[in-house]
Structure 1
Amino acid sequence: MSVLVFVEGLNGEIKKSSLEAASYGSQVAKQLGTSATAVAIGEVHEDALARLGEQGISKVLYDADERLNQFVADAYVKVIAKAAQQESAKVLVFSNTNIGAAVGSKLAVRLNGSLATNVTALPTINGSNFVVTRGVFSGKAFADVELTADVKIIAVKKNSIEVAHEGGSASVEKLSADLTEADFAAAPKETVMQETDGVLLPEAEVVVSGGRGLKGPENWHLVEDLAKALGAATACSKPVSDMDWRPHHEHVGQTGITVSPNLYIAIGISGAIQHLAGVNSSKVIVVINKDPEAPFFKAADYGIVGDAFDVVPKLIEAAKALDK
């Protein structure tokens, strides 16, 4: 019996959120006195899979079917269920991404398992008791949840677990789930990549976001220039996307994308509770606003009270100077 970790790829490499899930899964395996196996799907470099040994993964099962390069929930579920059966896995670990949450919920039904999403810490295991801590109420509180089913499925919240670097290499084995065309019947006709300058917003380590304080789309170069200097993704508040200043896939918040970067810079955003719900998992929040009473300052780690048109150009200059 092993712990099975599903890892997601991006441009042939393993996403950082999946490296965190792999680190989590290997630590759970140690608690249970067993090993951790990863399952990978689609286009991922085999040397990247082998490097999962650094996160404590002993073996990787890899299905390289080209049809899996595009996410199709039913097909992914079939592959992961096959891997779980092959490894007799009773604990399955995912990253709490859109893909992880979608696949995890379907697997919970298929395997009659217990599912916990948004998990923030290693489980407490005492005999048959298996308890995990998860974020609730948009990250404003935590709940301890006991997983009682024979199969336990855990989706780990991004940036809640440090990526391990233990050294070593994982073996890579081919996996085939004998997929048929019926497994791809629900494949989307079109894929929209939420990407800015090569940085996927949900995976970005740094996010620069703008709000109505920028006064119009013609001033968005301030956000873009700062993001470029920091190697960051760009984002926006809901009112900005509603006014078509920016595309809707850049909208972060309760009704948009939830992000958990190491650094979130908010420019000209007041900080409504709906926006905070989508960004409050960020490790460090920096707010730039000329209104000292803006609600966002209460949630900020650092705040600059000033006009964005004066402050941001200076930040861009400073960020560019760091690369010299």
Structure 2
Amino acid sequence: MSLMDISKIFSLLQPKEQDEDNEQCQALNNAVSGNDVALLSELLSQEPYRRSINGRSGWGVPVSPLRTAAALGHLGCLELLLEHGAEVDSLDVKAQTPLFTAVSGKHLDCVIALLKAGADPNGSQYNNCSPVLTAAREGDVDVLGELLHFGAEVDVRPKVPDWASNASACSGPLYISAAYGHLDCFKLLLLHGANPNYNCTDENMLVRIKQPKTVLEVCLRYGCGKEYIQLLIDFGADVYLPTLIIDKTTKQNEALGLLLKERVCPKTLMSQTRLAIRRSIPLANKEPAIKSLDIPLIVRNYLNHETAKLI
């Protein structure tokens, strides 16, 4: 795993001299903080301020004007900064990009503007978290949908050193959305190709963990509703993979009943066909590829798990 270079962190934390450039950067940040688009436009019309557009200023953790706009959700200022060449993926000392900050603040309009401007939907490789993980945890399905639409990695997992790896460290967005009870995010991730058997396919993790837990097993053990189990079954989770231990921690409920029923009843031919078609489509193109298929609408909807009950 790549971690942010320590020297870079210290260089970002090191106070800058109170020179003209720093004062200009602070003036830009002040205009953004006040959401004063007119003042910001006036400043950026001057060459000295445009040169400072990617500078950092402020007490404690210095930040760029674009990062400030993303954090506060000031869309007008953010778009103006981008128009004048602000670096879309600039990092703060936490290795957070403006996009990550906008996702954390649930500023959908800013998220869309940054993605359209070319922001990396996966955030920074130096940050231990990612925009997708954050959106899945917060249950922000609209933000999550935009990230996935722009090609974010659907099965991304937190970056941790090898010595800190454990069963929870390998959990991805699908597990997190289930753990926090965000069913809409859970389904959206599956629709974009999230692995329904996630946690049991990482070779490096399997070396260190004797009994990794699938999302299905975790959902059963921690009492997620039957809707989560049904979705995992519909999207092709291996129903024989979880080791079921009927004890005080395993709830005898409808969710467990669904799994046991699936183990003795084979999938219908239609269901197996849907899985085969979806698996043949590249992860990054599932949604547009299915919508562009020259087939009846009712079949396209079935491939997207929208009208299963009507067929």
TM-score with structure 1 length normalisation?
Answer: 0.25
Computing the radius of gyration from Cα coordinates, the structure with the larger value is 2
Which structure has the higher relative contact order (CA within 8 Å, separation 6+)?
1
Q: Which has the higher helix share?
A: 2
